[in-house]
Structure 1
Amino acid sequence: MTLELYKLPGCPYCAKVETKLDELGLDYVEHEVPSSHSERGEVEEVSGQTGVPVLVDTDHGIEGMPESDDIVEYLEETYGA
């Protein structure tokens, strides 16, 4: 399983996703993105936009899911009890 999270330190939406990942006991790779949106080419490549958080889940064909609420819901549905 390869989960990747694109995040920004201090971002409350990113923290919400990290909390859910930890609650579910999931291992993931963190990618810290630059604070400047114009320098977030890597995020834009995977998700089509420059906002974070963005989740990548290669096992389930998720190539770049934005929006913390959507990510949390996805994680619960996919990996929850």
Structure 2
Amino acid sequence: MANITLYELPGCPYCAKVIDKLDELGLEYDSIEVPRSHGERTEVKEVSGQTGVPVIIDEDHSVDGMPESDDIVEYLEETYGS
């Protein structure tokens, strides 16, 4: 089981940006697809305090519910990049 979890919505360009970075870095991750309706995104709200995606959890580095694709990409590069 991967220690990174990504909350995403298929077709979301911000999610795709994070997925591209995860793939580029060769990182394994679990993907949780959130409902289209923000009102039904209770799980992602519990972990991040908001309903937008993408959001990641990285158990190895105590990251619980990081939102914002640019922040996530920067974090992944700094943490797992060469």
Superposition TM-score, scaled by structure 2 size:
0.97
How far apart, CA to CA, are the structure 1 residues paired with 2:68 and 2:52? Answer: 8
The root-mean-square deviation of aligned C-alpha atoms, in Å, is: 0.6
The unaligned stretches of length 5 or more in structure 1 are none
Aligned to 2:36: 35
**CA offsets 1:14-45 (integer angstroms, 9 cap, x no match):** 00000000000000000000000000000000
1:26-65 pair list within 5 angstroms: 26-65=27-66
Partner SS state of residue 31, structure 1: strand
How far apart, CA to CA, are the structure 2 residues paired with 1:62 and 1:49? Answer: 15
After TM superposition, what 4+ stretches of structure 1 lie above 4 angstroms from structure 2? none
Aligned to 1:10: 11
Amino acid in the other structure paired with 1:72: V
Superposition TM-score, scaled by structure 1 size:
0.99
